[in-house]
Amino acid sequence: MLFDYLLRLADNGLILAQRLGEWVGRGPVLEEDIASTNVGLDLLGQARLWYAYAGEVEARDTGAGRSEDELAYFRDSGGFRNLLLVEQPNGNYADTMARQYLFDQWHVLLLDELRTSRDQRIAGIAAKALKEAQYHVQRSADWVVRLGDGTEESHRRMQAAIDALWMYTGEMFAVDATERTLIDAGIAADAAALQAPWRSSVDAVFGEATLAVPTDDWMQGAGMRGGKQGIHTEHLSHLLAEMQVLPRTYPQARW
């Protein structure tokens, strides 16, 4: 159960890092190319910390724990526990930054709660990751404002991005049986309690950005059948195909 929860944390970092890595060499300007991939690097580093711990927990539970690489490269999409939001395609830069902001704003709140987890290992990783996530959300919020309150065209694109991604945000606050048990044990963060502070920050940033908060509140995956349960959008398989092809084709490859 703890293993599954750690995978959720790790997979969010890995998948979003992979998405951000797709911008390498294609950023709108050199500085943004570097910035997006640096954010991805932070997320990848965090994912490795979570995977390493997940592997130890798995070893404790079953006697055979997988390595970081095995977890990253040799699971199929149904084995991934990331949020649907982070696997959504990059689209244009507004799509990428909207996805990033919606995630970052949730991520800082989640990590802040996990800092006080009764599991010392989780608390330590969260405290470290929070400092990085804090910087990420400042940047992504700035971009939401810059594009939202920019030109007519940038505003239109940012609003369209928010409208398209909004239905994937509900899953972030859905608590299933796995999380419930770990919340009660003082190990996991109560994701449902993050919704109000998340929404008030989002409202403030959208206000500054002259963006409208979508009114359609139908949420994909919120009914316990989403990314956290291993049920994904079609985009994840394509992402994994590219990410995993090398180690699966050459399992002994070293670099």
Q: Which of 21, 22, 41, 244 binds another protein (CB under 8 A)?
A: 41
Residue type, 208: E
- Closest Cα partner for 214 from 161, 173, 162? 162
Question: How much is the CA Rg of the chain, to the nearest whole Å?
Answer: 18
Which of 7, 71, 86, 137 lies at the binding interface for another protein (CB under 8 A)? 137
Single out the residue of 1, 21, 22, 38 in contact with another protein (rule: CB under 8 A).
Answer: 38
Shortest distance, position 43 Cβ to another protein, whole Å: 7
**Residue of 21, 75, 123, 176 interacting with another protein (CB under 8 A):** 123
DSSP-derived letter for residue 24 is: T
In the complex with another protein, which residue's Cβ is closer, 199 or 225? 199
3 state SS of 208: helix
Stretch that binds another protein, among 69-77, 108-116, 185-193, 225-233 (CB under 8 A): 108-116
Nearer to another protein, 199 or 235 (CB): 199
Does position 211 interact with another protein (CB under 8 A)? The reply is no
Question: Binding segment for another protein among 62-70, 107-115, 221-229, 242-250 (CB under 8 A)?
Answer: 107-115
Which letter, b or e, does each residue of 201-233 get, where b requires 16 or more Cβ atoms within 10 Å of its Cβ? Answer: bbeebbeebebeebeeeebbbbeeebbbbbebb
**Considering the rule CB under 8 A, would residue 224 count as an interface residue with another protein?**
no
**Rounded-to-integer distance, Cα 161 and Cα 165, Å:** 6
In terms of Cα–Cα distance, which of 63, 64, 66, 87 is closest to 6? 66
Tokens of residue 203, six digits: 């409202």
Residues that bind another protein (CB under 8 A): 31-32, 34-35, 38-39, 41-46, 48-49, 108-109, 112, 115, 120, 123-125, 127-132, 134-135, 137-139, 141-142, 145, 197, 201, 204-205, 208
